[in-house]
Amino acid sequence: MIRFINIQRIFQAIFIFTFLVPAKLPAQENIPLKKSLYFELAGSGGFFSLNYEKFIFKSTQPQFTFRAGISIAPIDKNNGSGIVFPVMVNALFGKTAHKLEAGLGQGITITTKGHFFARATGVFGYRFQKPGKHCFFRVSYTPIVSYLVDFQYTNWFGLSIGYSFLQKQIK
């Protein structure tokens, strides 16, 4: 287990990857930009998480998204509770309302006792969002892999419901 590291640097990295990196990536002009907020029950953030998602590469196939979230989860009596930051890059495959979603990322955890954990996470699931509509639903398989001290693999599933904010097209 890695002891407490500089929390300010962790938050700076999360801020950079959440807001600055996706804003600098090239965008195609024929697809509206999308940002989403969604609630995920279980999934890569633990028992629940609130997530922000932004489309970064909007090619016709696949569409790539970046997501960052926050969750609070009980760990154990030695570590207390933890604040979990799931950070992922996902790809969406499909041209209609039905999409296959696959992605990889990290679940960064800082505990109330000052410990730091990082776990790899993935997502493989189904996403339903009608074209031009704001609400979406997702069900996914989200394994969590602990790899820093010892190797542990946990099968995990998630349900998400969210809202997309559609922006004006770039001309």
Convert the pLDDT of each residue in 114-150 to its tens digit. 888 899 999 999 999 998 889 999 999 999 998 887 8
Q: What share of the chain is helix, strand, coil (3-state, %, to 5)?
A: 10, 55, 30
Q: What tens digit of pLDDT does each residue of 25-49 get?
A: 444 444 455 899 999 999 998 889 9
pLDDT score of 7: 52
Quote the CA–CA distance of 118 and 125 in Å, as a whole number: 23
Q: What is the pTM of this model?
A: 0.76
Quote the CA–CA distance of 155 and 143 in Å, as a whole number: 5
For tokens 């979230």, what's the residue? 69
